[in-house]
A and B are shown apart, each in its own frame.
Chain A
Amino acid sequence: MDIASRKTVGKQQPTNAKGSLKRSDRRFAYAILVPAMTAFLIMVAYPFFDAMSMSFFQYTIYDLEPIFIGFDNFVAVLTDPYVLGSWLTTAIFVVGTTLLTMTLGLAWALLMYQDFKGRGVMRTLTLLPWILPSTVSAFVWAWMLNGKYGIVNVMLLGAGFIDSPIQFLSEDIGAMLAVILTRTWISIPLFMSFFLAGLQGMDYQQIEAARIDGAGNLRIVKRLILPHLKPVFLVTGALGMIGNLQQFDIIYALTGGGPVRATSVLSIEVFRQAFENWDLGMASAIGVLWVFTLMPIVIFYLRSLFKED
Chain B
Amino acid sequence: MFELRSWKAKLGFTVLLLTIAFFLFFPVYWALISAFKSNQELYRLDPTLVPNEFFWGHFVSAITDGNILLQLKNSLLTSTSSALLNASLAALAGYSFAKFDYPAKKPLMLLILSAQMFPFGVLLISIYPMLQAVNLLDTKLGLTISYIVFALPVSTYMMYSYFKQIPNELIEAAKVDGASNMTIFRRIVLPISLPAFITVTLYAFMWSWNDLLYSMTLITSEENRTIGPGLLLRYINENNADWGGAMAASFLAAAPVVMVFAILQKQFIGGVTSGAVK
Contact = CB atoms under 8 A, between A and B. Distances in A.
Instruction: Classify chain B: how many residues form its interface, as a range.
Output: 35 or more
Given A28-B100, A33-B108, A37-B108, A194 B213 contact: no
Interface in B42-62: 42-47
Interface in A112-152: 113-115, 122, 124-129, 131-136, 138-141, 143-144, 146, 148-149, 151
Contacts of B222: none
Given A144-B27, A190-B272, A249-B213, A149 B92 contact: no
B47 A154 contact: yes
A248 B122 contact: no
B9 to A, nearest CB: 6
A257 B105 CA distance: 42
A308 interface: yes
Contacts of B232: 135, 138, 253
B125 A114 contact: no
Interface in B99-119: 99-102, 105, 108, 110-119
Contacts of B117: 242, 291, 294-295, 298-299
A43 B151 CA distance: 12
Interface string B192-214: 00000000000000100111110
20 contacts: A2-B100, A5-B99, A6-B101, A47-B122, A47-B126, A111-B13, A134-B211, A135-B250, A139-B235, A149-B243, A190-B272, A193-B272, A232-B277, A235-B276, A245-B119, A253-B232, A266-B119, A271-B121, A291-B117, A302-B113
Interface of B: 1-3, 9, 13, 16-17, 20-21, 23-25, 27-28, 30-31, 34, 42-47, 88-90, 92-93, 95-96, 99-102, 105, 108, 110-130, 145-146, 148-149, 152, 156-157, 164, 168, 171-172, 175-176, 181-182, 185, 206, 209-213, 217, 227-229, 231-232, 235-236, 238, 243, 246-247, 250, 253-254, 257-258, 261, 265, 269-270, 272-274, 276-278
| A-B residue pairs, 3 tightest by C-beta | A29-B100, A47-B126, A36-B93
Given A129-B28, A131-B261, 14 more contacts: A32-B185, A35-B88, A37-B93, A107-B16, A122-B21, A128-B24, A129-B24, A131-B257, A140-B30, A154-B47, A207-B1, A239-B277, A245-B119, A248-B212
